[in-house]
Structures are given as structure tokens and as C-alpha cells.
Amino acid sequence: MSASRLRLGVNIDHVATVRNARGGGLPDPVRAALLAIEAGADGITAHLREDRRHIRDEDMARIRREISKPLNFEMAATDQMLDIALRTKPHASCLVPEKRTERTTEGGLDVVGGHDYLVPYVDQLKRGGIRVSLFIEPSIDAIDAARSIGAPVVELHTGAWCHAVENGETEKADHEFGRIRVAAARAAQVGLECHAGHGLDFATARKIAALPQIVELNIGHFLIGEAIFIGLAPAVRQMRAAMDEGRRQAVAGA
Ligand code: PXP
């Protein structure tokens, strides 16, 4: 397994959250996307939620038109989102579960129970030339189910791990990181490209970068929060450096 450079996808949803708090057009999420790319992001991630609470249809269209790096379009598996994705033609679509009452994407997709429901969405996105990933819990069962659904990529939900780290729950954090390690290894074993995201900060990104099977991290909330204090470009550059350092350690220890 070659431990190549880890890609950073910057999620700009919460620039739109701040904009929408006031109405009007500022701050502009597309400006944030362009700045993040200039600072070293390898791609831009945006989630068009059913309730349009942050990113809106016209944001997605503008991001697609104006950025020079791949767009990862996060979406629920619904007919409306499928139609928009097929028209937008992003580089990738990440299928996520969506509940109107949640504040953020709280868990992974039910890829075991939802197998038959998800297959046609994955098929149609693939036929549209879009690389599909499934946002899943870090478990062997979920990896195997994702593979049987036919997605070439999985994104492991790192929320439970990051939450435990943030709360100082060391044992739980170790347990959750162990699940991510095992799931990443399984993904590689069955030929799936492995991404990860949710709740990552500089320290957790550095640590997870040491897992050589993971090729992409998608990070939003922390970076947009840091941008308030140090600016978006420095935050992206610092994240890039943390990821590169974590990966270097993995290569050195291999
Ligand atoms: N990956 C996926 C699939 C997500 O749904 C999210 C949250 O929107 C993220 C990554 C980024 O999470 P965070 O904003 O906590 O960095």
C-alpha cells in the first residue's frame, strides 16, 4: 500500500450558513472556495440539503462553474437531488443520510438495510460519469455493504471519534479510532477508495493521516471556525501541514 499525499477537500457549507443568517450575498461561499483552493485545497465539498439551510442551488451551480478543482457534491439519495447532480455534473457525489431535525449529518448511511433503495441512485450517478462515495459508519459490515451496492468510494464518518477526543473520553476515543483503522484496512482490502470526514480538527486530521489507506479528508466546520480567528487561507495551510506531517510519520514508520 503506497502512502501517497492525502487530499484535502474543504467543505464551505458554513460560509453559506453565516451568509444566510443575514440574508443577502455575503460572505460568498464561492469566494471561500476559490481562496481555499489557492491555499492548498485539492477539492471543494458542498452539501445541498433538502431544506437548503446553507448551500443553495445557485451556489452549487456557481461553485461548479467557477472552481478549477474537483467538486464533491454531498446529497441525500432522493430523486430531486439525483436530478440536480446529473445536471450539475460534479466530479463526485457523496451520498449522505439526511434528517430535517438534525443539526449536522449525525451518522452514516444505513447501507445494510438501505441496499435496494441505494443501488439505483449509485447506478444512475455512475452512468452520469460521477464518482460516487457512500458516507458510512466505520464498520466492516458497512464496508462490505457499500461494496455490494457498487460504489467505488466510501467516506468513513469520523464524528464519534472526534466527539470523544473533544470530550476527553480517552478510552472511547481509542475504541472509535480502532474502528476507523479496521474499516480503512477493510476498504482497501475489498478494493474501495477510502475517504474520511466529520468533526476533524488539526490534531485529529494529523492522527488520521497516519492511516495509509485513507486518500482524502473532507473538512468544513472547524476550518470555517478557525477562519474567524486566523483567516481561511492560513487555516487551510495549517490543515495541509498537519495532514502532511501525519502522513510523513506513517511513511517513516512503515
Ligand atoms: N463529510 C461528510 C459526508 C459530511 O456530511 C460532512 C459534514 O457536512 C463533512 C465531511 C465535514 O464535516 P465537518 O464540517 O464537521 O468538518
What CATH number did the domain enclosing 157 receive?
3.20.20.70
Q: Tell me, yes or no, whether 1 lies in a domain.
A: no
Q: How many Å lie between the centroid of ligand 1 and the Cα of residue 145?
A: 21
pLDDT at residue 14 in the model: 98
Task: Among 96, 198, 214, 217, name the best residue to mutate to test ligand 1's pocket (greatest count of ligand atoms within 8 A of Cβ).
Answer: 198
Q: Tell me, yes or no, whether 204 lies in a domain.
A: yes
The answer to whether residues 10 and 200 touch, using CB atoms and an 8 Å cutoff, is: no
For atom 12 of ligand 1, the residue with the nearest CA is: 198
Pocket of ligand 1 (CB under 6 A): 11, 13, 47, 74, 94, 96, 104-105, 135, 155, 197-200, 218-222
pLDDT at residue 1 in the model: 42
pLDDT under 70: residue ranges of the chain = 1-3, 100, 254
The parent domain of residue 205 ranges over 7-253
Q: Tell me, yes or no, whether 239 lies in a domain.
A: yes
* CA pair distance 94, 73, nearest whole angstrom: 6
How many structural domains comprise the chain? 1
For atom 3 of ligand 1, the residue with the nearest CA is: 135
Taking residue 87's Cβ as centre, other Cβ atoms within 10 Å add up to 12
Q: How many Å lie between the centroid of ligand 1 and the Cα of residue 251?
A: 26
The answer to whether residues 242 and 209 touch, using CB atoms and an 8 Å cutoff, is: yes
Q: Write down the catalytic residue from 14, 54, 74, 155.
A: 74
Q: Tell me, yes or no, whether 169 lies in a domain.
A: yes
For atom 11 of ligand 1, the residue with the nearest CA is: 198
Residue 27: DSSP 8-state: S
Q: Tell me, yes or no, whether 217 lies in a domain.
A: yes
The amino acid sitting at 166 is E
Q: Enter the pTM of the model.
A: 0.96
pLDDT at residue 2 in the model: 47
Q: Tell me, yes or no, whether 117 lies in a domain.
A: yes
Task: Among 99, 102, 221, 223, name the best residue to mutate to test ligand 1's pocket (greatest count of ligand atoms within 8 A of Cβ).
Answer: 221
Burial of 120-159, coded b for 16+ CB within 10 Å and e otherwise, reads ebbebbeebebbbbbbbbbbeebbbbbbebebbbbbbbbb
For atom 5 of ligand 1, the residue with the nearest CA is: 105
Q: How many Å lie between the centroid of ligand 1 and the Cα of residue 45?
A: 9
Burial of 167 (0-12, 13-18, 19+ CB in 10 A): exposed
Q: Tell me, yes or no, whether 2 lies in a domain.
A: no
